Structure 1
C-alpha cells in the first residue's frame, strides 16, 4: 500500500476558501486503477508564522498505481487550474510519499 500526501501552508483567513476548492472540485480519483481513499486534513494553525496546515492524503494499492495516476489525463485535468488560487498558499505544497512497512 502507498500513501501520497501534500502539505499545504494556507494563509490565515483563507482556510474556508481552500476547503471549498477541494470540496467542489471535479475529482476523478475513483476512476484510477489502484486508488483506495482520499482525505483532506486540516491541521494546526501556526499563528506566529501566519498559516494553517492542511494535508491532502490519498491511498493507493501501490506506488506504481500512484505514479500512473500522476501521468494520466485525469491528473492533468485535476490540476489544470491550480495556479489560479496562489494567493491562498504560503509557498508550494510539499509532497511526501510512504510505503507501508508494517501494519495490522
Structure 2
C-alpha cells in the first residue's frame, strides 16, 4: 500500500472557501486503476490558520505515479493556480509505503 499526502496551511478567513472547493471538486480518482481511498482531513487551528491534509491510499506507488501522469490528474488540477490564494505557500507533499496494516476485523 502507498499513501500520498499534501498538507495545506489555510488562513482562517479562507477555511470555508477551501473546504467548499475540496467538497465540490471532481477529482476523478475513482477512474484510476489502483486507487483505494481518499480523505480530506481538517486539522488543528492555531496562529490564525488551520491545517488540512489530503490523504490518498493507492494499491502501490506505481498506481500513484500513473495518476500523476494521467489525463484525470491534469483535469483535476487544471485550476490549481487559481486556488493557491486560499492557502499559504505551496502544499507540502509526503509519501509513505505501508509496512503494516491492521483492520477492525483483525
> What TM-score, normalized to structure 2?
0.92
Q: Give the equivalent residue in structure 1 for 2:17.
A: 17
In 1, the alpha carbon distance for the partners of 2:100 and 2:83 equals 38
In 2, the alpha carbon distance for the partners of 1:85 and 1:101 equals 34
TM-aligned CA deviation for residue 85 of structure 1: 1.7
Alignment of 1:1-104 (within 5 A): 1-47=1-47, 50-104=48-102
TM-aligned CA deviation for residue 103 of structure 1: 2.5
SS of alignment partner, residue 45 of structure 1 = strand
> What TM-score, normalized to structure 1?
0.94
Per-residue CA shift, 1:59-81, capped at 9, x if unaligned?
00001100000000100110000
In 2, the alpha carbon distance for the partners of 1:29 and 1:69 equals 8
TM-aligned CA deviation for residue 12 of structure 1: 1.5
TM-aligned CA deviation for residue 82 of structure 1: 0.6
Count of residue correspondences: 102
